Amino acid sequence: MKIINVAGARPNFIKIAALMGAYESVPAIDPVLVHTGQHYDERMSDLFFRQLGIPEPDVNLGVGSASHAVQTAEIMRLFEPVVLEHEPDAVLVVGDVNSTVACGLVAVKLGVKLVHVEAGLRSGDRTMPEEINRVVTDSISNLLLCSEPSGVENLRREGIDPSKVFLVGNVMIDTLHKNKAKA
């Protein structure tokens, strides 16, 4: 099973670290790591990858910063050919950044299953771009992996099919446990 894993910003790198490590023990999964470049300088991405033992990305879209609309559109434009080339069984996105919603939209429009890690988290503040990203991504995801019970409850209240929702724990904490000796 081929899974494209998307990371775009520092919090995503920490979450992806746990997942990439877990894939090593599952030979049936062929992970592809895509870095959108939403955080693009050495201190914001390369250092995290090295310190957390994340493999070199298979693809770096190199998007950089821009307005929300421009950045989201550019990620979508550059991610579509990656999905078409790799023909994944699923695209996995984490968190609530522009990369999350942009890559999620591309996957769903191409008929590829979408997995959202940290699904169901809500602030209740629709003026926050991240809140819009969360709600939109959850509404189009095929599999919603929640880090806490409130996420499951939020998705239930929003009418998301409960057969698609799973409480799986917090990948940030998994990465913390794996790296606590380095601190």
Q: Give pLDDT, residue 40.
A: 66
pLDDT by residue (tens digit) across 112-142? 999 999 999 999 999 999 999 999 999 999 9
Query: Average of pLDDT values for 171-182?
Result: 80
Nearest Cα to 108, choosing from 97, 119, 122, 93?
93
Query: Average of pLDDT values for 22-29?
Result: 95
User: Per-residue pLDDT for 159 more than 90?
Assistant: yes
Overall residue count recorded for the chain in this entry: 183
Q: Give pLDDT, residue 31.
A: 98
User: Per-residue pLDDT for 41 more than 70?
Assistant: no
| Per-residue b or e along 66-105, where b marks 16 or more CB atoms closer than 10 Å to that residue's CB | eeeeebbebbbebbbebbeebebebbbbbbbbbbbbbbbb
Q: How many domains does the chain have?
A: 1
Give the structural domain span for 57: 2-182
Query: Average of pLDDT values for 75-97?
Result: 98
Among the residue ranges 17-26, 87-96, 157-166, the one predicted with the least confidence is: 17-26
DSSP-based helix, strand, coil % in the chain, nearest 5 = 50, 15, 35
Query: Average of pLDDT values for 94-106?
Result: 97
CB 119 within 8 A of CB 145: yes
User: Per-residue pLDDT for 44 more than 70?
Assistant: no
Strand order across the 143-146 sheet: 59-60, 30-35, 2-7, 90-94, 113-117, 143-146, 165-167
The percent of residues above 70 in pLDDT, for the chain, comes to 96
List the CATH number of the domain containing 48. Answer: 3.40.50.2000
User: Per-residue pLDDT for 46 more than 90?
Assistant: no
Q: Which helix (H) or strand (E) holds 16?
A: helix 10-23
Query: Average of pLDDT values for 76-85?
Result: 99
Q: Which tokens is 106 given?
A: 């591309």
Q: pLDDT band for position 85 (50/70/90)?
A: very high
Q: pLDDT band for position 54 (50/70/90)?
A: confident
